[in-house]
């Protein structure tokens, strides 16, 4: 997902509904403050200064349009890999990873809305925060889901709104606010500690073993053989850093759950992490063929990363 243009549009909506002087409508005219062109010119100048192609080749617009029409992205959700992650993944990620944020934000926001309804008092702060909350929640639900990281912007807005509405939700009771805030901070910290120490949870991006492969398995790495690698940029990066030449004619593993994913007959080695050989659908060739029938010739397992396995194709019997 790309966000600066959506964020700017959201801000325009928020200030036009809750602020004054930026944008205004009357019966005949749509008025824009002279400050808006200043804002756009400043943004373009900053971009031009640090990255000229962003303005000269209008990369900002091109990238935004590219992501607007971005196809689905295969991703890991729980213990399964999905070709297209279901929309429920948003709630699943929030509930499984950041349950304190989901629970506390929901309670605080609902309590603030209820109190606002009872008192009949809706302030510009309420409107401003509501626009951002709704916009980023809808964006998170509507955009392509490549992983829990796509929710980060929504999580940020939820935390900000929760803090801004916390006093109001607790009726401005100082004692309750003090106890509540300490309890929530502890809850959030404990959630992170619990997840970090849990044997059943491993972050999607926890990569490891590529450096060890280059150090420990130099013989095979130097072979002139065809290979399929998950994480070819990682292998190439560490090979470049360590000055280890790779003999393989390697290509990136097709990142798909499809049963007809290509596995050319002349491939000798496959290097894949645990979530591929365990969590891919059973019919996907990496699991159906490689994990089932090929021989593991090297593997690396640490507590803070996915196991990485090097598979070798069995030689035909003479």
Backbone angles phi, psi at 308, to 5 degrees: -115, 130
Choosing from 74, 113, 116, 125, the residue that interacts with another protein (CB under 8 A) is 125
Choosing from 74, 92, 236, 299, the residue that interacts with another protein (CB under 8 A) is 236
* Residue with smaller CB distance to another protein, 189 or 259: 189
Smallest separation, CB 316 to another protein (Å): 33
Smallest separation, CB 51 to another protein (Å): 5
Q: How many residues interact with another protein (rule CB under 8 A)?
A: 104
Fill in the DSSP letter of residue 307. Answer: -
Choosing from 89, 112, 126, 128, the residue that interacts with another protein (CB under 8 A) is 128
Q: Is 113 in the site for another protein (CB under 8 A)?
A: no
- Measured distance between the N- and C-terminal CA atoms of the chain, rounded to whole angstroms: 52
Smallest separation, CB 182 to another protein (Å): 8
Burial tier of 38 (Cβ tally within 10 Å: 0-12, 13-18, 19+): exposed
* Residue with smaller CB distance to another protein, 86 or 156: 156
Number of Cβ atoms within 10 Å of the Cβ of 269: 22
**Binders of another protein among 255-294, rule CB under 8 A?**
none
**Binders of another protein among 46-105, rule CB under 8 A?**
46-47, 50-54, 57, 59-60, 63-64, 66-67, 93-94, 97-98, 100-101, 104-105
Smallest separation, CB 86 to another protein (Å): 18
Site string for another protein, 17-46 (x = CB under 8 A): -xxxxx----------xxxx-xxxxxxxxx
For residues 252 and 232, the answer to whether their CB atoms sit within 8 Å is yes
Copy the structure tokens of residue 49: 């200064």
Q: What angle do CA 208, 213, 219 make, to 5 degrees?
A: 175
Using alpha carbons, select from 115, 144, 110 the residue that is nearest to residue 130.
110
Choosing from 86, 95, 110, 178, the residue that interacts with another protein (CB under 8 A) is 178
* Residue with smaller CB distance to another protein, 10 or 313: 10
> CB-side exposure of 286: number of CA atoms within 13 Å?
27
Copy the structure tokens of residue 281: 């659908």
Q: How far apart are CA 162 and CA 104, in angstroms?
A: 8
Q: Is 174 in the site for another protein (CB under 8 A)?
A: yes
Q: What angle do CA 273, 278, 282 make, to 5 degrees?
A: 125
Site string for another protein, 184-223 (x = CB under 8 A): xx--xx-xx--xx------xxxxxxxxx------------
Q: Is 233 in the site for another protein (CB under 8 A)?
A: yes
* Residue with smaller CB distance to another protein, 206 or 261: 206
Q: Is 13 in the site for another protein (CB under 8 A)?
A: no
Choosing from 269, 305, 309, 310, the residue that interacts with another protein (CB under 8 A) is 305
For residues 204 and 226, the answer to whether their CB atoms sit within 8 Å is no
Q: How far apart are CA 180 and CA 188, in angstroms?
A: 12
Smallest separation, CB 244 to another protein (Å): 15
* Residue with smaller CB distance to another protein, 196 or 292: 196
Paired with 30 in beta bridges are 25
Q: Is 148 in the site for another protein (CB under 8 A)?
A: yes
* Residue with smaller CB distance to another protein, 238 or 247: 238
Using alpha carbons, select from 75, 73, 78, 74 the residue that is nearest to residue 96.
78
Burial tier of 236 (Cβ tally within 10 Å: 0-12, 13-18, 19+): middle
């Amino acid at each position: 997902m790309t966000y600066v243009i959506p964020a700017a549009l959201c801000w325009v909506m928020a200030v036009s509904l809750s602020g004054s002087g930026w944008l205004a409508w009357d019966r005949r005219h749509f008025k824009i403050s002279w400050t808006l062109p200043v804002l756009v010119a400043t943004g373009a100048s900053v971009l031009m200064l640090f990255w000229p192609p962003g303005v000269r080749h209008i990369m900002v617009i091109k990238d935004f349009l590219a992501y607007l029409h971005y196809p689905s992205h295969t991703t890991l959700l729980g213990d399964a890999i999905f070709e297209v992650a279901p929309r429920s993944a948003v709630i699943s990620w929030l509930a499984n990873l950041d349950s304190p944020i989901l629970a506390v934000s929901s309670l605080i926001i609902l309590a603030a809305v209820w109190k606002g309804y009872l008192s009949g008092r809706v302030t510009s702060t309420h409107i401003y925060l509501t626009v951002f909350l709704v916009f980023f929640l809808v964006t998170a639900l509507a955009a392509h889901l490549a992983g829990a990281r796509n929710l980060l912007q929504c999580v940020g807005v939820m935390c900000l709104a929760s803090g801004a509405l916390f006093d109001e939700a607790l009726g401005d009771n100082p004692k309750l606010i003090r106890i509540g805030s300490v309890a929530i901070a502890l809850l959030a910290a404990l959630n992170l500690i619990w997840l970090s120490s849990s044997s059943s949870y491993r972050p999607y991006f926890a990569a490891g073993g590529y450096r060890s492969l280059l150090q420990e398995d130099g013989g095979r790495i130097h072979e002139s053989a065809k290979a399929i690698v998950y994480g070819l940029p990682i292998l190439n990066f560490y090979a470049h850093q360590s000055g280890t030449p790779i003999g393989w004619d390697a290509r990136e593993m097709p990142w798909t759950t499809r049963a007809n994913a290509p596995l050319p007959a002349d491939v000798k080695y496959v290097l894949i992490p645990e979530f591929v050989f365990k969590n891919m659908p059973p019919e996907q060739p990496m699991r159906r063929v490689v994990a089932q029938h090929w021989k593991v010739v090297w593997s690396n397992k640490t507590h803070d990363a996915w196991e990485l396995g090097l598979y070798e194709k069995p030689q035909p019997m003479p």
